[in-house]
């Protein structure tokens, strides 16, 4: 299969009843003097480019369980992949979904997500991509600031460059450059929201999908302080030569310094730099109405936090169920040791109300965390005042786990459980396990993929043979759809807030 695009001619492959064009460079390799600089557009090539193999993942260290891509030191990694119907022609104008992978913004790769299911279900074009990760994608340092270019959020700038490539080239694949949906899960969802408030992303997309993840960007002063610490530990300090020194270091050295667990938390995430991302952050920008008001589809899973429990099981080698002592320790941690708050949390989440201590911990972490249910609800309230929003929760606790089977651990409907329903075959990386879906799960998968592709086409997930989800509103009696293999239940925002104890958690702030 050949496509002649403005970027150059490509020869793709047929796979899973789709045509796939893999490993397409959308920017020059960010190496040498281009390390820690905004991406530079890839010039058009001559001749026919082989697009049968995926490009290498971006440099990363495997530290996040099932999200992890293969550990590598590749800096030449800015490649994207296009999945199209076998009947695709340039004169067609299909909706386009551009997917930002999850993985904490420090691990993962676009080639882990097979867009074939979405392509075949909804006659769409799907684009997946790599973007710079970890310290190479998110380093803030005064020396880089002094150079006068955009800095810190290199991963976001890579994604925006990919969107510009899509706008210029996707018509050649049968896609509509004027109907682009950006979507992401976990850190990818965080990135989607950053693009919504970024003045540099205006006009690059027409819809947004936010799956399982909200967060606030690091303040620039905090991110730069940690950047200086990183530079110092790498041997480059904080002076007029720091940027040049860092660019000369081998990537292996950078990965080794970054690899100290927990040492540099803001070298792998979005920074409120004031130019790419507003200094006010995301929630304040949404509340002030300073964002690109496009239709939004938001989702979460019922037991998000349980994924983190599973990662702890895996890394510790634990083989026994969580106990009441584990519950007590978790509650104390969430309460920051405050005895009055410990009593309050225990009263709201009494162990006797749950089948196991693990389920109680999952409820507390999912509902009260800074990443998930109640935090997402805070975002949707101001967004829904300016744009149409649809919201659903994935409730299938029978979902196959991406985590390896571990004695004493119950997967539940945890963070990542829904990905394989949207990207069939997803296994999440070198530690992940892919399982075929049973018939009921496959039916749910088709329902979700139909909703997503309907949304990409029209901004509404509902269709004549699909879902019947209401638009989200805090005042409407029907606002959030709870979906599983048995169907769906639609509840009000008030019921959702009560079920997740959001008034309580919101009163405490992020914990």
Residue-wise pLDDT tens digits, 262-274: 555 656 689 999 9
Query: Reduced to 3 states, what is the DSSP secondary structure of residue 159?
Result: helix
pLDDT for 70 equals: 63
Task: Give tens-digit pLDDT for 395-443.
Answer: 999 999 888 888 999 999 999 999 999 999 887 666 666 788 999 999 9
How many angstroms separate the first and last alpha carbons of the chain? 51
pLDDT for 434 equals: 74
314 exposed, middle or buried (CB, 10 Å; 0-12, 13-18, 19+)? middle
pLDDT at residue 126 is higher than 60: yes
Q: What's the pTM value of the predicted model, to 2 decimals?
A: 0.96
pLDDT for 263 equals: 58
Contacts of 292 (CB under 8 A, 6+ apart): 195, 196, 197, 201, 202, 205
**Nearest of 193, 182, 186, 194 to residue 452 by alpha carbon:** 182
**Nearest of 205, 262, 241 to residue 455 by alpha carbon:** 205
Banded pLDDT at 454 (limits 50, 70, 90): very high
Separation of alpha carbons 381 and 235, rounded Å:
46
pLDDT for 489 equals: 95
Contact 131, 92 (CB under 8 A): no
pLDDT for 511 equals: 43
Strands (E), 6-73: 8-11, 13-15, 18-25, 48-50
Separation of alpha carbons 248 and 179, rounded Å:
41
Contact 75, 59 (CB under 8 A): yes
pLDDT mean over 126-141:
96
Tokens of 386: 């300016």
Beta-strand pair 218-219/389-394: unpaired
Alpha helical stretches, state H, 38-114? none
Instruction: Return the percentage of the chain with pLDDT > 70, whole number.
Output: 95
Tokens of 473: 């509103």
Task: Give tens-digit pLDDT for 210-243.
Answer: 999 888 999 999 999 999 999 999 999 999 999 9
Task: Give tens-digit pLDDT for 23-81.
Answer: 999 999 999 999 999 999 999 999 999 999 999 999 988 655 444 556 788 999 999 99
CA angle 128, 130, 134 (to 5 degrees): 140
Separation of alpha carbons 46 and 68, rounded Å:
35
Domain boundaries, the chain: 2-220+269-294, 300-508
Give whole-number Cα distances, 142 to 218, 223, 446, in Å: 15, 10, 49
**Nearest of 154, 283, 160 to residue 217 by alpha carbon:** 283
**Nearest of 293, 422, 312, 425 to residue 358 by alpha carbon:** 312
pLDDT mean over 182-189:
97
Angle between helices 357-368 and 306-316 (to 10 degrees): 120
Tokens of 401: 């786990």
Task: Tell me the range of 35-39, 90-94, 478-482 where mean pLDDT is highest.
Answer: 35-39
Quick check: do 2-220+269-294 and 300-508 share a fold? Answer: yes
Banded pLDDT at 467 (limits 50, 70, 90): confident
74 exposed, middle or buried (CB, 10 Å; 0-12, 13-18, 19+)? middle
pLDDT mean over 486-495:
94
Task: Give tens-digit pLDDT for 299-308.
Answer: 999 999 999 9
Residue with the two structure tokens 């369980």 = 65
CATH number of 300-508, picked from 3.90.1150.10, 3.40.50.1820, 3.40.50.2300, 3.90.700.10 = 3.40.50.1820
Separation of alpha carbons 200 and 192, rounded Å:
13
Beta-strand pair 207-211/175-185: parallel
CB-side neighbour CA atoms (13 Å) of 177:
16
Contacts of 134 (CB under 8 A, 6+ apart): 59, 60, 61, 105, 106, 107, 255, 258, 267, 268
CA angle 403, 467, 398 (to 5 degrees): 25
pLDDT at residue 145 is higher than 90: yes
Separation of alpha carbons 34 and 402, rounded Å:
36
Contacts of 71 (CB under 8 A, 6+ apart): 60, 61, 62
Rg (CA), the chain: 22
pLDDT mean over 280-287:
97
Q: What is the mean pLDDT of the chain?
A: 93
pLDDT for 397 equals: 96
Contact 268, 230 (CB under 8 A): no
pLDDT for 65 equals: 46
Separation of alpha carbons 63 and 74, rounded Å:
17
Specify the CATH number of the domain 2-220+269-294.
3.40.50.1820
């Amino acid at each position: 299969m050949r496509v002649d695009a403005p970027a150059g001619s490509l020869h793709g492959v047929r796979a899973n009843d789709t045509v796939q064009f893999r490993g397409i460079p959308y920017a020059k390799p960010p190496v040498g003097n281009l390390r820690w600089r905004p991406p530079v557009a890839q010039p058009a090539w001559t001749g026919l480019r082989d697009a049968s193999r995926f490009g290498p993942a971006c440099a990363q260290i495997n530290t996040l369980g099932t999200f992890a891509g293969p550990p590598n030191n590749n800096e030449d990694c800015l490649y994207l992949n296009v999945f199209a119907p076998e009947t695709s022609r340039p004169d067609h104008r299909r909706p386009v979904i551009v997917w930002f992978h999850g993985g904490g913004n420090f691990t993962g790769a676009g080639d882990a997500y097979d867009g074939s299911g979405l392509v075949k279900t909804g006659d769409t074009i799907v684009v997946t991509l790599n973007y710079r990760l970890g310290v190479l994608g998110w380093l803030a340092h005064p020396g880089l600031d002094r150079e006068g270019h955009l800095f810190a959020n290199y991963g976001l700038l890579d994604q925006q460059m990919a969107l510009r490539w899509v706008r210029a080239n996707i018509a050649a694949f049968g896609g509509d450059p004027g109907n682009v949906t950006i979507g992401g899960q976990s850190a990818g969802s965080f990135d989607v929201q950053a693009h919504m408030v970024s003045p540099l992303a205006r006009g690059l997309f027409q819809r947004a999908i936010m799956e399982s993840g909200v967060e606030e960007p690091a303040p620039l002063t905090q991110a730069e302080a940690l950047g200086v610490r990183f530079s110092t530990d790498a041997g480059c300090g904080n002076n007029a030569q720091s940027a040049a020194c860092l660019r000369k270091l081998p990537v292996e050295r950078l990965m080794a310094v970054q690899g100290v667990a927990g040492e540099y938390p803001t070298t792998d995430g979005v920074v409120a730099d004031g130019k790419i991302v507003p200094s006010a952050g995301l929630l304040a920008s949404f509340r002030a109405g300073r964002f690109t008001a496009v239709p939004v589809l938001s989702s979460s899973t019922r037991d998000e936090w349980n994924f983190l429990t599973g990662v702890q099981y895996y890394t510790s080698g634990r083989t026994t169920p969580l106990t009441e002592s584990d519950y007590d320790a978790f509650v104390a941690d969430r309460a920051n040791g405050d005895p009055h708050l410990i009593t309050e949390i225990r009263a709201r989440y009494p162990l006797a109300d749950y089948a196991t201590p693990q389920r109680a911990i999952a409820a507390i972490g999912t509902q009260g965390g800074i990443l998930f249910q109640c935090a997402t609800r805070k975002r949707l309230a101001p967004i829904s005042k300016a744009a149409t929003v649809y919201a659903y929760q994935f409730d299938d606790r029978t979902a196959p786990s991406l985590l390896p089977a571990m004695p004493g651990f119950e997967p539940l409907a945890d963070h990542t459980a829904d990905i394989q329903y949207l990207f069939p075959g997803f296994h999440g990386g070198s530690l992940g396990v892919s399982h075929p879906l049973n018939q009921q799960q496959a039916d749910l998968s088709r329902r979700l993929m139909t909703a997503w592709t309907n949304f990409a086409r029209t901004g509404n997930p509902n269709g004549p043979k699909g879902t019947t989800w209401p638009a989200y509103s805090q005042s409407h009696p029907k606002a959030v759809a709870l979906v599983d293999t048995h169907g769906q239940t639609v509840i009000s925002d008030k019921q959702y807030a009560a079920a997740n104890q959001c008034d309580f958690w919101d009163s405490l702030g992020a914990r």
